A and B are shown apart, each in its own frame.
Chain A
Amino acid sequence: MMFAAAAAGLIIPMLMALARGLMGPTLYDRVLAGNSFGTKTVLLIAVLGFIGGRPDFLDIALLYALMNFVGTIAILKFFRYRNLGIAGETGNGNGDGGAA
């Protein structure tokens, strides 16, 4: 009962974050909405694990939290420098080295 209420109270904010992501005026609004959606997804996975009585879901939630952070940073870096770094390059990672 308690966790069903928590799941319902998480799904509605997830839809609201999705709406902000769809209508966000700038790129950064969309990235922010995606990051916030990911945080709420982590919480929803943990709550679903408690509803189903399966604590293994917490491992998936932990992995999702890590992937969410790395994904946000990767998206920001990609839109700043138009690549994620060139293979074999040992520069400062801003992508203009090695391209000659």
Chain B
Amino acid sequence: MMEIVIDILSWGFILAGVFFVFIGTLGMLRLPDFYTRLHAAGITDTMGMELLLIGMMLQAGWSLATVKLLMISLFIFFTSPTATHALANAANSVGLRPYGVPEKDLRRTSKEDV
């Protein structure tokens, strides 16, 4: 009885994780601008990754594999926003501008950015 409940739960988590990974990557392929693509890639890195790893943790049970999965999920949970921030900061500092924002609404960081 307990195995069936755990199987159904982990099926749900893994299918939801695959769905979010697919949605995030579809957004990364289809959205019009670098910053919107950055937002779509964040969906893959948080929701899809966490749901997939929780599904795998349910299958692994109480073992060393669960501890390793927890470590992977913690590392990605902290490093992915850091990498995203570094990427957005680098793109902004070389003058890549957001799509669809009027020119007068952009705060300029220096004179030669115009």
Give the B-binding residues of A (Cβ under 8 A): 2-3, 5-6, 9-10, 12-13, 16-17, 19-20, 26, 28-29, 31-33, 35-36, 39-40, 42-43, 46-47, 50, 55, 58-59, 61-62, 65-66, 68-69, 72-73, 76, 79-80
Contact = CB atoms under 8 A, between A and B. Distances in A.
B86 A76 contact: yes
A58 B69 contact: yes
Contacts of B68: 55, 58-59, 61-62
A19 B34 CA distance: 15
A18 to B, nearest CB: 10
Shortest 5 CB-CB distances between A and B: which pairs? A9-B18, A13-B25, A69-B79, A58-B68, A28-B91
Contact of A36 (B11, B14, B44, B90): B44
Given A5-B14, A35-B41, A46-B72, A29 B34 contact: yes
